[in-house]
Amino acid sequence: MSNVFNWQLGREMEYPYAAAYPDQQFAFVFNTNRCIGCQTCTMACKSTWTFSKGQEYMWWNNVETKPYGGYPQHWDIKTLDLLEQANPGGQRWGGAPTDLKAPYGKFNGKTIFEAARTFLGPGGPNRAVGYLPTDEEWAAPNRYEDHPVSSEAGEKGRYFKGGELLPEHKTWFFYLARICNHCTYPACLAACPRNAIYKRPEDGIVLIDQERCRGYRKCMEACPYKKTYYRGTTRTSEKCIACYPRVEGKDPAGAGQPMVTRCMASCIGQIRLQGLIQLNADGTWRAARHNPLFYLVHVAKVALPLYPQFGTEPNGYYIPPRWVPRPYLRQMFGPAVDEAIENYSVPDRELLAVLQLFGKDPRICDRYEIKEGPKVFETEVRGRKLALYNDTIIGYAKDGTKIIETTVEEPLHLRPQKHANSI
Amino acid sequence: MQLFYDEGFIESAVLLCASRGETGRPAFAPGQAAAGRVQRLQISRFRREREKLYRILDPDERNAAFFKLHLDWFREWGLEQPLTDTLNEFPLVRELLGVLAVRRSTGKDDEGAELYVNEANRRTGVLALRLERLMQDAALRDYLRHEFTHLHDMLDPAFGYAPRLDLPGLNAAQQRLARERYRLVWDITIDGRLAAAGHAPLETREQHAAAFARGYSCWPEPKQVEAFNLLWHCRTPRHADFLALIADPRGLRDARRPAPGGSCPLCDFSTFHWADANVLPPEIIGRIRAEFPGWSREQGLCGRCLETYQALAAAGGAAAP
């Protein structure tokens, strides 16, 4: 075991390999508040990469309904439970947040790598605490999961009175879109006995070498997000490849510009923003004030990692759903949830503009600038002033090409009166 | 009888064994306490042998080699034994079945044994099993016995099985209910026979009795108890007897009057909510008779049909086609 620095945990942690960071890291932000669970992303991925024989149960991208849904079923609860068994009552956060190196404070519990030292799984010692899902858990994505948490305790079938009221709904669910997080400290990579899994130095994308893989399925067992899959026809494991040809700029549609993945580009709810993050020597994010991902994660602090306590330093970030009870969200996204929701619920001028970049162009936006516009609206949200300025935000690719120009206010088109649905 | 295995089933079973280090084989004696554990050295050997096969380039040759290897370890780790042992308890199945194919099941609803008969009257049994069952030897044997008894009955000429339930006069909902009842009564006789033979039934007599009472709640309790006892103690069940029991427990088929659970003469849906046809105004009666000339008040109509005709009468529009 080596000691590596995990900034999401605000401390060093144990990992089977020494720290080695890519030049830049594939990362993304999903805005759960806007996801409608339409599964367009899921099908875009499926029709691009996993439509062949043996890949029937492979959903590199999936959208599940929380709290009851999951693919495989209960993936998160099962891993949380294993960690709790390994460290009863000790999975706690503490300490004060500091910039970049510990933005969420310090995690005092055990990660899946640390817990593996003392906790033996059903199959004996492993490099990470995990489990192999059963066939049944993989068999039915999205079935029966759109059920809100709804009843008063002991009052089956009776909805909460005022359950729809904000700031937290009592009757709630939300959609969680998931792909491989291309973690900084991947559990799949750590667990592979064949060293078949590697992290690309050029963009941090985690790939499985199909020539080396011998189907041990240790990656499936170790990945806490359950984002590697065994393919019976080739007897190897496969996983999300982050559409790397597009990220490399090899998709003809991008004319040489790096493009976002298929799932990102197809999102009709425009909930997704993907980018490449520059890293410091210690793996923390290099300050890039006008990179949209850096801004959302480290400046506006509205986007948070998914289950950071697992310890893999996932590179997928989520703007938490603002109507969901906070204890559930703190478990899922860490202790910074309250601040993130507060910042998102009453966005400042810059955040409002940056949120317009989501889903606007399939090319990767590296930098943005904002041209100020007039104030068009003002209101108060739970005691805080919210002003809406019709600013223009311009996004640039890494080589300086202008790829996006859009305003905060969406353009209004008036149809002529002859149409039945004229407005 | 030939025993066939689905490749995916065998492979997943041995991989599960290797990853969990368990076979599900019971420890029969103190000296065999480790029987249910797969030795680490064995797992290493299995992995080494398996790794070598990845070097085979021809896909068919490679698949065949993997299948053979997985089947060898399936047998080595005793995973086949519960199947063959239990199958030996059913000589009729071995004699009359051409092939028994074992495949992987992905869920409880998909599990079980089924019989397929082709045009040449060749009989093939398909047994779908969840992998997790292989890790629980005793429970697996109980389950297999139950499923093989299903196959036995389907093959036994004395049982007189027919794949389709010939139940004329029942609407679609009633046919579905009848199929559910068939499953219920068949399972009761199977577990009754297994219990009498000293084996563990899949569900206890009490559980079955409760399920039977739910399925036949329209009967008075003494009749339920009597019928259940007959089923539980029945040693030579017959398909025809089951049909008589499931088809029409409420005696509705020949009823010409509204009865709870009977079919509405207008929409043919089963209903427990009959409208009072004696108080219907003449305009609704007229509207109903325009579409159902043979209908009389005595036959009744369900509450939903009454609502429909009330709405139509109020709207004054044409009746629905």
Complex ipTM above 0.85? no
Q: How many CB pairs under 8 A join A and B?
A: 45
Chain A touched by B106 (CB under 8 Å): yes
B75–A contact, CB cutoff 8 A: no
Which residue of chain B is at minimal alpha-carbon distance from A138? B106
Residues of chain B with pLDDT > 90, as a percent, come to: 64
CA distance linking residue A275 with residue A267, whole number of Å: 15
Of the residues B10, B106, B110, B135, the best mutation for testing chain A's interface (the one with the most A CB atoms within 10 Å of its CB) is B106
Q: How far apart are CA A330 and CA A319, in angstroms?
A: 12
Triad B257, B261, B265: Cα angle to 5°: 50
- Cα(B20)–Cα(B15) distance, integer angstroms: 8
* B107 close to A (CB below 8 A): yes
A232/B15 touch (CB, cutoff 8 Å), yes or no:
no
Does any CB of chain A come closer than 8 Å to the CB of residue B238?
no
Burial A19-32 (b: 16+ CB within 10 A, else e): bebbebbbbbbbbb
Q: Quick one: closest CA in B to A230, which residue?
A: B12
Q: Considering only CB atoms, which chain A residues are within 8 Å of B66? A: 235
CB contact under 8 A, B21 and A123: yes
Domain membership flag for residue A149 = yes
**Is residue A364 domain-resident?**
no
3-state secondary structure B205-270: HHHHHHHHHHHCCCCCHHHHHHHHHHHHCCCCCCHHHHHHHHCCCCCCCCCCCCCCCEECCCCCCE
Tell me the per-residue pLDDT of A192-220, one tens digit each, with 9 for 90 and over.
999 999 999 999 999 999 999 999 999 99
Would you call A123 and B19 a contact, using CB atoms and an 8 Å cutoff? yes
Cβ of A215 and B130 within 8 Å?
A: no
Is B11 an interface residue toward A (CB < 8 Å)? yes
User: What is d(CA A249, CA A256) in angstroms, rounded to the nearest whole number?
Assistant: 5
DSSP per residue, B72-96: HHHHHTTSSHHHHHHHHT-HHHHHH
Q: Are A263 and A44 in contact (CB under 8 A)?
A: yes
Q: A262 in a domain, yes or no?
A: no
- Residue contact B106–A122, C-beta within 8 A: no
Spatial separation of the C-alpha atoms in residues A373 and A408, rounded to whole Å: 9
Tokens of A2: 């080596």
Question: By the CB < 8 Å criterion, does B130 face chain A?
Answer: yes
Strand partners, B117: B123
Residue B321 has pLDDT above 50, yes or no: no
Structural domain total, chain A:
1
Read off the pLDDT of residues A230-285 as tens digits, 9 standing for 90 and up. 999 999 999 999 999 999 999 999 999 999 999 999 999 999 999 999 999 999 99
Residue among A59, A60, A55 at smallest CA distance from A233:
A55
Let me know if residue A263 belongs to a domain.
no
Q: What is the pLDDT of residues B116-169, one digit of tens each?
A: 999 998 999 999 999 988 888 889 999 999 999 999 999 999 999 998 887 887
What's the average model confidence in pLDDT over A415-419?
Answer: 78
Distance CA A337, CA A355 (A): 18
Give Cβ neighbours of residue B179 (< 8 Å, ≥ 6 apart). B165
Residue B28 clears pLDDT 50, i.e. is over it: no
Domain that holds residue A131: 2-21+33-154+164-255+311-345
Dist CA B209 CA B216 (whole Å): 10
In a domain, A209, yes or no: yes
The nearest CA of chain B is from the CA of A313 a distance in Å of: 26
Is A419 domain-assigned? no
Tokens of B282: 């003449």
Is the CB of B51 less than 8 angstroms away from the CB of A221?
no
**Chain A residue set in contact with B, beta carbons under 8 Å:** 122-124, 132, 134-136, 138-140, 214-217, 221, 232, 235
Query: Mutual orientation of helices B7-20 and B40-53 as an angle, nearest 10°?
Result: 140
Is the confidence at residue A150, as pLDDT, over 70?
Answer: no
Distance CA A205, CA A317 (A): 15
Q: What is the pTM of this model?
A: 0.87
Per-residue model confidence (pLDDT) at position B259: 85
In a domain, A65, yes or no: yes
**Chain A positions in Cβ-Cβ contact with residue B128 (cut-off 8 Å):** none
Q: According to the model, what pLDDT value does residue B200 have?
A: 95
What are the chain B neighbours of A235 within 8 Å (beta carbons)? 11, 54, 66
Q: DSSP character for B313?
A: H
- Cα Rg of chain A (Å, integer): 22
The C-alpha angle A384, A390, A393, rounded to 5 degrees, equals: 110
Report residue B170 CA to chain centroid gap.
Answer: 21
Task: Tell me if A138 and B106 make a contact (CB, 8 A cut-off).
Answer: yes
Nearest CA in chain A to B107: A136
Interface residue B108 vs chain A (CB under 8 A): yes
- B104/A135 CB distance under 8 A: yes
